[in-house]
Amino acid sequence: MNKLVYDVGASAIKYALMDNDANIIEKGKVATPHDNLEHFLDELKTIYEKYEDKIDGIAMSLPGTIDSTKGQIYAPGGLTYNANVNLVNEMHKFTDLPIVLENDGKSAALAEVWKGNLEDCQDGIVMVLGSGIGGGIIKDRKLWKGTHLFAGEFSYVFASEGASFMESAWAMHSSATGLIMNVAKRKNVDMSTLDGLKIFDMIAANDEDACAALQDLARDTARGIYNLQCILDPEKILIGGGISQQPILIEKIREELDKIYQTLPFDVPHAQVDVCRYFNDSNLIGALYNFMTMYQE
């Protein structure tokens, strides 16, 4: 039977009716409530009621530090009303179906190991460059979450020295947000006047500031990837997120990695960097795979 899969983001709750092989039968989206948990649950219930006679399970991807085995959200990401909420218990007030939750970045990683560009790998890393740097670590084809469910939270890694965490965090160096901030600072304009597509149009037109900002992002991303390769030694490291669909991004990251390797006085394994196969639907696919794995379907 089919599953209802939610992908909860900062601006929208995307949802899809999917079969067990990740084929999307029907999909839609609604605005994500930001006021309180009650309204959030109301939206989930309204969507569920459209499909309750067609499904035998519910899977969900959403921000936060999440214990999938318990359905418990600890640190909630941007949706602060989810702090220390057992969302599965809350949803069981309107359905008896099995429900499985997973972090959004980790769901993207699961999509890649199931049907994407980690399909032929035992070990890999997915980095999603968006508002921060989400992602997941795959070990022996399983999601490695760590002792505190925090493995793969690349945003929090220190990428440089700075007067504050926000200046030092990798999230502000290698994310789409960081790229926009860099260009805005160089041009002395407000961030709201820019977005990722506009910046890559500027790069295509050889805008000096936009090209320099991309070079900064590629350099800082390459340094982080080099460190991850030394620590975890995966077969592949995949880059996801909207800006990863720009071929020049991967090209520049590979160039910066080559520069690092050329400076070393000894040989080390080189990181194999590629792009994710899935973009807009990755969290839906990964959340479904998480359900299938947990219930062994």
| H or E, element range at 237 | strand 236-240
Q: What is the pLDDT of residue 125?
A: 98
Order of all β-strands in the sheet with 142-144: 142-144, 133-139, 124-129, 236-240, 273-275
Work out the mean pLDDT of the chain and round it to a whole number: 96
Q: 3-state DSSP call for residue 268? A: coil
Query: Measured between alpha carbons, how far is 289 from 297 in angstroms, rounded to an integer?
Result: 9
Domains of the chain are 2-104+280-295 (3.30.420.40), 117-275 (3.30.420.40)
Cβ-count burial 150-164 (b if 16+ within 10 Å, e if not): ebbbbbebebeeeee
Q: What angle, 0 to 180 degrees and rounded to 10, lies between the N-to-C axes of helices 208-232 and 196-204? A: 110
Residues 48-104: tens digit of each pLDDT: 999 999 999 999 999 999 999 999 999 998 899 999 999 999 999 999 999 999 999
Order of all β-strands in the sheet with 24-31: 24-31, 12-18, 2-8, 55-62, 99-103
CA 231-237-242 angle, to 5 degrees, is 130
Which contacts qualify for 24-31: CB closer than 8 Å, 24 or more apart?
24/281, 24/284, 27/284
Average the pLDDT over 242-269 and give the result: 96
Q: What is the pLDDT of residue 66?
A: 97
Residues 118-155: tens digit of each pLDDT: 999 999 999 999 999 999 999 999 999 999 999 999 99
Residues 207-229: tens digit of each pLDDT: 999 999 999 999 999 999 999 99
Answer yes or no: is pLDDT of 160 > 90.
Answer: no
Residue in this structure with the two tokens 């690092």, named with its chain if needed? 260
pTM above 0.85, yes or no: yes
| Residues 6 or more apart in contact with residue 94 via CB below 8 angstroms | 41, 45, 48
Q: What angle, 0 to 180 degrees and rounded to 10, lies between the N-to-C axes of helices 208-232 and 247-263? A: 60
